[in-house]
Amino acid sequence: MQSPAIEIDRLGFAWRPGTDVLNIAELSVQRGERLFVQGRSGSGKSTLLSLMGGIVVPTRGQIRLLGQSMQELGAAARDRFRADHLGVIFQLFNLLPYLSVLENVLLPCHFSSVRRQRVLARASSLEDEAVRLLQRLQLTQPELWGRQVSQLSIGQQQRVAAARALMGGPEIIIADEPTSALDAESRDAFVDLLLQECAGQGTTVLFVSHDAALAPRFDRTLVLETVRLPEVV
């Protein structure tokens, strides 16, 4: 049996000693599972994402992605792990403004040969796969692909960001408040498209939002509480 996508065991993190910003006793997310993480600002959402991305390591406890413990990897290896296995979608200003739509989608393959090879294993070229993803996310007009991203609407930009996160089939997609700038209608459309495509690839989704209305679309919800505990040894 495959190891779970995400395993957390008595995880704690503090930027400075004595000021914990995050405490999670236990969490296990299976592959292909869709987890909704709900929490207000200050609840440690950003910290959880940084821990998942391997930018910071836990103060206490364990975090394993795809069976790999993040603490055991060096900083460079964590960067490579993130490049190979994680797709990230941010809240806003997701794309590099000086690249075209297509170039933005191709970016992950610059940093990861694993993702490049995964694409080439099933598509004839990187561009073909990028175009396929854009079409799946309903960016169908070819004249859109060569355009600077700044000429796109926010909703279109967010879909380009999703295509970029999906490029090269990473096992885990992390979305950090990707819908907060969208109106309700485009929000629902965006989440549906994202989840549809992830289901097709068997991707694990970790979707962070303060917007509880989205929760029913996911398999499970994790509510992060604002942590205000004095350090206990």
Partner 1 sequence: MAMLSLALKSLRNRAGSAALTVLTIAISVMLLIGVEQVRTEARTSFANTLSGTDLIVGARTGQTQLLLYSVFHIGNASNNVGWDSYRTIAAHPQVEWTIPLLLGDSHRGFRVLGTNGDYFRHYRYARDRNLVFSSGQPFDDLFEVVLGAQVARELGYQLGQEAVIAHGMGNTSFVKHDDKPFRVVGILAPTATPIDRTLMVSPQAIQAIHLDWQAGVKLPGNSVSAEEAREQDLTPTELTAFMVGLKSRMSTFSLQRSINNYRKEPLQAILPGVALAELWSLMGVAEQALLVISVAVVFSGLAGLLTVLLGSLNERRREIAILRSLGARPWQLLSLLTFEAALLTLLGSVLGMALLYMGIALSQPLFAQWLGLQLDVSLPSARQWIFLALVQAAGILTGLIPGWRAYRYSLADGMTIRI
Rule CB under 8 A: choose which of 98, 140, 212, 219 binds partner 1: 98
What is the C-alpha separation between 144 and 205, in angstroms, rounded?
27
Alpha-carbon dihedral sign for residues 113, 115, 120, 125: negative
Region of 109-117, 133-141, 182-190, 223-231 interacting with partner 1 (CB under 8 A): 109-117
> Considering only CA atoms, which of 114, 104, 42, 43 is closest in space to residue 77?
114
Query: Going along 99-214, which residue ranges are E strands?
Result: 172-176, 204-209
Q: Is the dihedral of CA 149, 115, 30, 192 positive or negative?
A: positive
Q: Counting contacts by CB under 8 A, is residue 139 touching partner 1? A: no
CB of 225 to partner 1, least distance (A): 19
Structural tokens at position 17: 């000693």
What sign results for the dihedral spanned by CA atoms 140, 143, 145, 147? negative
Site track for partner 1 across 68-87, x = CB under 8 A: -------xx--xx-xxx-x-
- Binders in 4-63 for partner 1, by CB under 8 A: 46-47, 49-50, 52-53, 55-56
Among 14, 27, 73, 99, binds partner 1 (CB under 8 A): 99
Q: What are the residues binding partner 1 (CB under 8 A)? A: 46-47, 49-50, 52-53, 55-56, 75-76, 79-80, 82-84, 86, 88, 90-99, 103, 107-108, 110-112, 164, 174, 176
